[in-house]
Structures are given as structure tokens and as C-alpha cells.
């Protein structure tokens, strides 16, 4: 239960959120199968309960159950496709587009969580200052409403346009 974000930190200390997990998500299995250290840090963003399964147990289950191995392969493939898409959007979209997309993604996938401006920036791959200015512009344009950390999307279709996302 709860919500966990995975973050990567560069040599200069800048943090980037690489993934967000909720109930039922699997964290760390990529490193398990590659036999490498996990590059991200997991941070609980709300009270969270996790279930740890030892590597030996997972490997035994996979070796005895080819269907489970295929499920792991499918999950790895889905995660890889998602990360490719996200990387492409991060490298080719403007900060305004990425912030609009971040607002839509975070609100639609995590309705109960009120994300900080810093977390929105870390997800969108920009600075907190840029997020604050862009949110103020979105609010002045009537796209969103801000009350503290609570951001309400008023004009979803206009935000989709800002993000250059076709419905």
C-alpha cells in the first residue's frame, strides 16, 4: 500500500524521479535479474507497506514456473517501453509541455496525492522555479487552480494541448 517514487541523483545532486509505484507495483526486480546494484533510491511519499521477497525465493519460483518467468519478461518489456517513451518526451519537449504532462499524469494516476512543486519538477525534468512560474501562468489562464499543494485541473483539454498530447 502507499506510494513510492524512484529517484536518480546526478553528480551535482540534482534529483530526477524515474518511476512512481503504488499498490501492487514491483520494485527492484530489474537489478535482481541483471545481478547489478540498483541505481535508483526508493522514497516512500506517504505511509507505505512493502513486501520483500528474497532473491533466492524469486529465482526458485521462476525456475519452477516458466509462466512466471514470462510475466517478469512482459513486465520488463512494458517498463522498458514506458521509459523509452518518457525519455523521448523529456528530451524533445519544452518545459511547459513536460509540466503540463506531469500535472495530467500525476493527477490521473495518483488522485489522492498532492505533489510538491519540487516533485513535479523532478518528474518533469525541470527546476522548481520553472514549475512555480508555469503553474502561475496556467492558473492565470484558467487551466488550473492552486490552493497550497492542492492543484485542481480546470481545463483538461487545454492542458492536453499544452502537453501536445492527442486524445
Assess whether pLDDT exceeds 80 at residue 152.
Answer: yes
Assess whether pLDDT exceeds 80 at residue 167.
Answer: no
What are 48's three cell numbers?
507505505
Residue 91: pLDDT band by 50, 70, 90 thresholds? confident
Q: Which residue has the cell 494516476?
A: 109
Residue 118: pLDDT band by 50, 70, 90 thresholds? very high
Could you tell me which residues come within 8 angstroms of residue 101 by beta carbon, excluding any fewer than 6 positions away? 89, 93, 124, 163, 165
Q: What kind and span of H or E run contains 123?
A: helix 117-124
What are 42's three cell numbers?
526508493
Looking at the DSSP bridge assignments, the partners of residue 6 are: 19, 42
Q: When comparing pLDDT for 63 and 166, which is higher?
A: 63
Residue 87: pLDDT band by 50, 70, 90 thresholds? confident
pLDDT digits (tens, 9 = 90+) for 3-30: 899 898 888 888 888 888 888 888 888 8
Q: Taking the model in full, what pTM does it have?
A: 0.74
Amino acid at each position: 500500500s502507499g506510494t513510492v517514487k524512484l529517484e536518480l541523483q546526478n553528480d551535482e545532486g540534482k534529483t530526477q524521479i524515474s518511476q512512481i509505484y503504488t499498490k501492487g507495483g514491483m520494485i527492484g526486480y530489474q537489478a535482481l535479474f541483471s545481478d547489478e546494484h540498483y541505481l535508483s533510491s526508493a522514497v516512500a511519499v506517504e505511509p507505505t507497506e512493502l513486501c520483500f521477497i528474497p532473491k533466492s525465493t524469486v529465482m526458485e519460483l521462476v525456475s519452477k514456473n516458466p509462466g512466471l518467468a514470462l510475466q517478469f519478461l512482459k513486465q520488463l518489456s512494458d517498463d522498458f517501453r514506458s521509459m523509452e517513451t518518457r525519455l523521448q518526451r523529456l528530451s524533445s519537449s519544452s518545459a511547459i509541455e513536460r509540466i503540463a504532462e506531469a500535472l495530467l499524469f500525476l493527477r490521473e494516476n495518483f488522485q489522492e496525492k498532492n505533489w510538491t512543486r519540487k516533485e513535479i519538477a523532478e518528474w518533469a525534468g525541470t527546476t522548481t522555479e520553472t514549475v512555480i512560474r508555469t503553474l502561475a501562468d496556467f492558473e492565470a489562464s484558467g487551466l488550473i487552480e492552486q490552493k497550497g499543494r492542492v492543484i485542481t485541473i480546470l481545463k483538461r483539454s487545454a492542458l492536453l494541448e499544452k502537453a501536445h498530447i492527442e486524445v
